[in-house]
Amino acid sequence: MKIKSWIEAARLRTLPLSVSGIIVGCGMAFADNSFNGLLLALLLATTILLQVLGNFANDLGDFQHGTDNDSRVGPKRTLQGGGLTVGEMKRGIVIMIVLSLVVGITMLCVSFGISIGFWVFVAIGLAAIVAAIRYTMGRNPFGYRGLGDLMVLIFFGFATVTGSYFIMTHHVTIDSILMGTAIGFMSVGVLNVNNLRDCESDRESGKVTIVVKLGIRFGQIYHFVLCLSAIVLIAVTLVIEKRAVGMLWLLLPTILLIMHSLRVLRASDVKTLDPELKKLSLTTLLMSVLYVVAIIWR
């Protein structure tokens, strides 16, 4: 049985990121009296399926490009370790694409029926699938050209937060955009820690990330700015929503986020940063949950 290998390939520690955005977007819809429990379930399922699809494709793409090698610092990937074959991973990717489409289209039918909104979001969903695959797969993937950060901001920030809010309410607000940016910045931070950790092996294999382009020290400062910007955006959103007192709910995740960003900023050896990936991912989830508590607490 290869259940353990498939679980490892799914990279469960990355799933809180995509779930965080859905929690925030749907929580904002709940605060605006536009919540739908069925849509929440379908949004979560679609997002998780797309995340797993991206992780499978990333495993395959990095393996085919030789990025997952013995000099890589993080946990050994599934194909690299021999847990799955290339053929099995390709079949897994196809299954995830089909499941994502079925669940995603069901979600859009529930929200929009067959309307202009339905077709617009079908196009966005197809773009998300293409982005998940093209991140590391194929010739000249955008994850190898320093574009990974932008894609994460778009799909883990705006698509999950602003998109889920729109699917629930059929309109967009400035605070949904601000929170999409904030969650997006924290998600980019997770990618940036990964790129800091793997900077040396990425450079050797020809994977050009922002850290490879501009250097480790820039990457550390960039990470601190991402985390600080997320905190500021969340605070501004709470002020706009007249929930300034709700900032007390976010005190713990804010402290955790500051401590994390300082550890990354001060790290003398970026190869030791792997534990910070999980910490930032879980902090993002905690921040999202407590943000929702802050805006619905009366």
> What are 37-74's pLDDT values in tens digits?
999 999 999 999 999 998 888 888 777 776 655 555 55
Residues 152-186, buried b or exposed e (16+ Cβ, 10 A)? bbbbbbbbbbbbbbbbbbeeebebbbbbbbbbbbb
The range of the structural domain enclosing residue 90 comes to 3-296
Q: How far is the C-alpha of 144 from the C-alpha of 234, rounded, in Å?
A: 31
Helix (H) or strand (E) holding 199: helix 199-205
More confident residue, 168 or 142: 168
* Residue 145, strand partner residues: 208
Q: What is the pLDDT of residue 168?
A: 94
**Contact in structure between 200 and 136 (CB atoms under 8 Å):** no
Phi, psi at 208, each rounded to 5°? -95, 100
- Three-class SS of 64-114: HCCCCCCCCCCCCCHHHHCCCCHHHHHHHHHHHHHHHHHHHHHHHHHHHCC
Q: What is the pLDDT of residue 221?
A: 96
218 Cβ contact list (under 8 Å, min separation 6)? 210, 211
Number of domains in the chain: 1
Q: What is the pLDDT of residue 246?
A: 78
Angle at the Cα of 71 (from 191 to 17), degrees rounded to 5?
20
Q: What is the pLDDT of residue 208?
A: 85
Task: Measure the CA dihedral 298/163/43/95, to 10°.
Answer: -160
Q: What is the pTM of this model?
A: 0.90
CA distances from 288 to 66, 191, 229, 295 (A): 36, 18, 15, 11
Of 224, 221, 241, nearest in space to 292 by CA:
241
User: Is 277's pLDDT higher than 60?
Assistant: yes
Angle at the Cα of 46 (from 40 to 52), degrees rounded to 5?
135
Angle at the Cα of 63 (from 58 to 64), degrees rounded to 5?
100
* Residue 208, strand partner residues: 145
**Contact in structure between 225 and 265 (CB atoms under 8 Å):** no
Q: What is the pLDDT of residue 69?
A: 54
3-state secondary structure of 145: strand
Confidence of residue 1 (pLDDT cuts 50, 70, 90): low
**Contact in structure between 155 and 128 (CB atoms under 8 Å):** yes
How big is the chain by its Cα radius of gyration, in Å? Answer: 19
Q: What is the pLDDT of residue 204?
A: 81
User: Is 81's pLDDT higher than 90?
Assistant: no
Mean pLDDT of 142-163: 87
Q: How many CA atoms lie within 13 A of 45 on its CB side?
A: 17
* Residue 192, strand partner residues: none
